A and B are shown apart, each in its own frame.
Chain A
Amino acid sequence: MENKNKPEPDKTIEADNDRKIANSSKDHIPGWGIDANPENDPTYPMKHWNGADHQRFNYEKPVQQPIDVEILHSTERPGVSRVFGTSTPPSGLSGMIRRFAFKYSESTYLHWVPLVLADRINVVEGYIDDLAHGIIPNPFAERGWPAEWKYNRKSLVTKVAVGVAITAAVVVFLNQKNKKTKKLFS
């Protein structure tokens, strides 16, 4: 889907021009560089500054990993990185939402909020996928409740009892409401 509101990029600040502008003569700027201090580097020692920043991405890149699965990439880079993970490519409804999200930059809620939504939908898809493959999900085991039984039994029993009581109350309430509705129409 094309974003019609997207402004045309300003050609004067295209990537190729960045270093040309930076390296051009600054003779017309009085005092250019007069207070530069290489020791004023709050990133040291985490970063060992060597000027590579100013070469930008003009380095010998590793060979490209073959792109044999669908890889969504950030709009803030021109293509995929030289290596990438191939776990769980986008699929189904969640995949459609993820593809939509990747039309927007990392700087926007339109990127992240749909991804969170896709994650939640993906959970339901996971249940369906399990059942389609003959796997009955076991939420008690998957939530690690055997450990809860071992280390926090009283709280677990209380939680289960409260859950059962609330469910029973809801069932009884709905049952009574159903009976009243039937009486009205009988």
Chain B
Amino acid sequence: MLAMNFRGPFRVRADRNRPMPEIKHPQDAIVRVTRSCICGSDLHLYHGLVPDTRVGMTFGHEFTGVVEELGPGVQNLKVGDHVMVPFNIACGVCPFCQQQLFGNCHESNPQATAVAGIFGYSHTAGGYDGGQAEYVRVPYANVGPTIIPDGMDLDDAVLLTDVVPTGYQAAEMGGIQKGDTVVVFGAGPVGIMAAKCAWLFGAGRVIVIDHIEYRLEFVKQYAQCEAYNFKELGDVVEFLKRTTGWYGADVCIDAVGCDAAGDAFQSLVGRKLPLTGGAATALHWAINSVKKGGIVSIVGVYGPLDTLVPIGNVVNKGITIRANQASVKRLLPILIDHVMSGRLNPKAIISHRLPLEEVAEGYHIFSAKRDNCIKPVLIPPRANA
């Protein structure tokens, strides 16, 4: 079958000779992929920043597909169902899944206890091949895959598997109270969604910080928020203090993670060498920009190594930090309602639709931010079979 094949940092190819996935467990399903996104966090893999990313792996954790085959233990799906597949692989029965922490499942990743299994996201996240392929193996198919509701656009559905829940949970973890000033660091797809969702929680003012001009323009329109280019601000923290009456933001959201620009030292030790878990520039700014007693919400992805953050300021300011991988299954019911009622329009962030055969170009366009790219979606040749 055709699938993306990782060959090393900044090198991927569409490979027609990948083996077909097989049922390995009674609760497995084989899904024929109909849409698959390239996620901003895939770029961390593509840039070589996630340890134990092996050559030959297929990435892709945001996808929809049609159920082609089921293991004998799957009761909740039938062959032919068109499903959206949450990026977290969750057993549904461990204490974490029982408490709706589906992004923290204990029975899907042997390689690391700190993170649940994630499709196509290195062996640090379980060693699963992902959805940038014609077919994919979906474990625990009774739990994660959710039938796409009648009338939902496929392009909306695929974005409900990661980017929308992650943006929504970023805002949710902010504990936003009506009238709060919320600062979102990062105008990538997750940051855009976080800004949009902040209004659903009653934010009084939403500010987005980034340095890519076309993305700032987009988020300003899409999320009806303020957007500023940090390269034009001088000291970002000082600007945010000034614009909040020297008080600090009520809530700061890090929607960037380990690939952040904006600080030469962080970039050197976190991205170029890399000696830390990533360039924590956005998180550093978030901690220093939030008010005393404020909340910092982190959905940006960092590597497992130590990361440079001003932890002393967290203590001295009494900041609450809330962070997690999005619990997609928990959030799907409310997000499906928001999409079907028109309150959220995820597909508007899709800027590129590419055939799976052009996966290398897709990664390059997204990584290098060419052609005003915001969100690329890959369409496999058998999507309409």
B52 touches A76 (CB 8 A): no
Q: Give complex CA distance A144, B53 in Å.
A: 20
Which residue on chain A has the smallest CB distance to residue B320? A42
Interface residues of B (CB under 8 A from A): 7-13, 24-28, 48, 51-58, 73, 89, 91, 93-95, 98-101, 106-114, 117, 123-124, 126-129, 139-140, 169, 172-173, 274, 303-305, 320, 322, 324, 327, 330, 360-365, 368, 370-371
Which residue of the partner chain, among A48, A65, A77, A98, contacts B113 with CB atoms under 8 Å? A77
Say yes or no: is A57 at the interface (Cβ < 8 Å to chain B): yes
Q: Count A-side interface residues using an 8 Å CB cutoff.
A: 67
Chain B's closest residue to A145 (CB) is: B364
With A46-B172, A148-B368 given, is the CB distance from A85 to B126 under 8 Å? yes
Q: Are B126 and A152 in contact (CB under 8 A)?
A: no
Mask of A62-92 contacts with B, CB within 8 angstroms, 1/0: 1101100001111011011111111110100
What residues on B are CB-neighbors of A55 within 8 Å? 95
Residues of A within 8 A of B111 (CB): 71-74, 102
CB distance from A38 to the nearest CB of B (A): 14
Asked if B57 and A50 sit within 8 Å, CB to CB, the answer is no
| A146 to B123 CA separation, bound complex (whole angstroms) | 30
With A61-B93, A115-B51, A115-B52 in contact, is A126–B117 under 8 Å at CB? no
Residues of A within 8 A of B322 (CB): 42, 46
Interchain Cβ contacts under 8 Å between A and B, 11 examples: A81-B108, A83-B89, A83-B140, A84-B108, A84-B110, A84-B117, A87-B57, A120-B48, A144-B12, A147-B360, A151-B365
Question: Contact between B127 and A85 (Cβ–Cβ < 8 Å)?
Answer: yes
Residues from chain A with Cβ under 8 Å of B93 in the complex? 59-62
Give CA–CA (A138, B371) in the complex, Å. 24
Cα distance A143–B12 in the bound complex, in angstroms = 7
**B55–A123 touching, CB < 8 Å:** yes
Contacts of A145 in B (CB 8 A): 364
Set of chain A residues within 8 Å of B53, measured between Cβ atoms: 119
Residues of A within 8 A of B (CB): 42, 45-50, 52-53, 55-57, 59-63, 65-66, 71-74, 76-77, 79-88, 90, 94, 98, 102, 106, 109, 112, 115-116, 118-120, 122-123, 125-126, 129-130, 137-139, 141-148, 150-152
A106 with B112, Cβ < 8 A, contacts A83-B89, A85-B117 known: yes
Q: Given the complex, which residues of B lie within 8 Å of A116, measured CB to CB?
A: 51, 274
Q: Is the CB of A143 within 8 A of B100?
A: no
Distance in angstroms between the alpha carbons of A152 and B367 in the assembled complex: 13
Question: Which of chain A's residues have a CB closer than 8 A to the CB of B48?
Answer: 119-120
Contact of B11 among A66, A73, A143 (CB under 8 A): A143
Distance A138 CA – B15 CA, assembled complex (angstroms): 12
Residue from A50, A59, A79 having most chain B Cβ neighbours under 10 A:
A59
